[in-house]
C-alpha cells in the first residue's frame, strides 16, 4: 500500500487558496502512484485564526466532502483529508474526514484532546468518540489529530480492537519536533501498527511548524521521512502482510493483563 503525506504550507486564514493548493497537491500525489493520501491538521485555515474562525470554518464539512469526495472518486485513491476547522450547529470542531476510492466519506473524527497551551479549548469543542474505519482490502485504520498522540489510552482503545494503520494529522511546532518523532515511534511499537504522521510546514504568527512528516513500520523503523520543514510530499510503501509475523513473534496483545490496569 503506497501512502503519501502532503506536508503542506497553508495560507493562514485563507480557505479558498488552501482548498486550491490541497486539491493540486492531492492530484500530484495520485499521479505519482499514491493509494492513500494524507493531509495535515486544520489545513483549510491554519492553526488557528481566532477573530473570525467561525466565518472561515467549513460548515458541516460540506466543502471538504464535496471537493475530496470528488477527487477520491476521480483519482481512484483513498484520502485522509487531514482535519479542517468545521462549524457545526453547536460550535466549531477540529474535524477529520476520510474518503474511500468511491468518494464515500467513511469516517469522521472530531479532535478529542484540545491543546490548552494555545487556547484551542476556548475556540473549539471537544470530540466525544473514537474513530476507526476500513480502507481497501479491509485494512483497519484509525485517525487522531496532533495533541491526541500524547494520550496513549486513546490509541490503545483503537488497537485492542485491531489496528493496522494509524494516521496522525498535525500542526506540530518545530521547537518540539523531537517529541513528535519519539511519540509516533512509540505508538507504532507499542501498538504494532504502521503510523503515518502528516505534519504541516510553514509559519503562523510567531509559530514555526516542524514538518518532519514520517511513516513508521510496526517495529518503529522509519520507512519514509520528510526533508525538514519545507512543503513537500513523501511516499512510503507499507506492506500490511508484515503485521501478522510481527504480532506472532511478540504477541503483546495476548500477554496483556487488563484486569490490573486502572487508567481512569
Residues designated as active site: 41, 111, 146
Listing DSSP states for 14-60 in one string gives -HHHHHHHHHHHHHHHHHTT-SEEE--TTTTT-S--STTHHHHSEET
CB-CB contact of 80 with 153 (8 Å): no
> How distant, in Å, are the alpha carbons of 40, 195, 260 from that of 182?
18, 12, 26
**Which of 79, 77, 18, 12 lies closest to 51 in space, CA to CA?**
12
How many whole angstroms separate alpha carbon 162 and alpha carbon 155?
Answer: 11
Listing DSSP states for 196-252 in one string gives EEEE--SEETTEEB----EEE-TTS-EEEE-STTSSEEEEEE--TTHHHHHHHHS-T
CB-CB contact of 44 with 19 (8 Å): yes
Place of cell 484520502: 79
Amino acid at each position: 500500500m503506497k501512502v503519501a503525506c502532503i506536508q503542506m504550507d497553508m495560507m493562514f486564514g485563507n480557505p479558498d487558496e488552501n482548498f486550491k493548493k490541497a486539491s493540486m497537491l492531492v492530484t500530484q500525489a495520485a499521479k505519482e502512484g499514491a493509494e492513500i493520501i494524507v493531509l495535515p491538521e486544520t489545513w483549510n485555515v491554519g492553526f488557528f485564526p481566532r477573530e473570525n474562525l467561525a466565518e472561515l470554518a467549513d460548515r458541516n464539512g460540506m466543502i471538504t466532502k464535496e471537493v475530496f469526495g470528488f477527487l477520491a472518486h476521480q483519482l481512484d485513491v483513498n484520502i485522509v483529508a487531514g482535519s479542517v476547522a468545521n462549524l457545526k450547529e453547536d460550535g466549531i470542531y477540529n474535524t477529520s474526514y476520510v474518503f474511500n476510492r468511491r468518494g464515500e466519506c467513511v469516517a469522521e473524527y472530531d479532535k478529542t484532546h484540545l491543546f490548552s497551551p494555545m487556547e484551542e479549548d476556548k475556540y473549539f469543542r471537544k470530540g466525544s468518540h473514537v474513530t476507526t474505519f476500513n480502507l481497501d482490502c479491509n485494512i483497519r485504520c484509525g485517525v487522531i489529530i496532533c495533541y491526541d498522540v500524547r494520550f496513549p489510552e486513546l490509541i490503545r482503545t483503537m488497537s485492542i480492537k485491531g489496528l493496522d494503520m494509524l494516521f496522525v494529522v498535525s500542526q506540530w511546532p518545530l521547537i518540539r519536533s523531537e517529541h513528535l518523532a519519539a511519540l509516533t515511534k512509540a505508538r507504532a511499537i507499542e501498538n504494532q501498527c504502521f503510523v503515518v504522521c502528516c505534519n504541516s510546514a510553514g509559519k503562523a504568527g510567531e509559530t514555526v511548524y516542524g514538518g518532519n512528516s514520517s511513516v513508521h513500520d510496526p517495529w518503529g523503523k522509519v520507512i519514509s521521512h520528510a526533508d525538514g520543514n519545507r512543503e513537500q510530499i513523501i511516499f512510503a510503501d507499507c506492506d500490511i502482510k508484515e503485521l501478522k509475523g510481527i504480532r506472532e513473534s511478540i504477541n503483546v496483545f495476548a500477554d496483556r493483563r487488563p484486569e490490573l490496569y486502572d487508567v481512569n
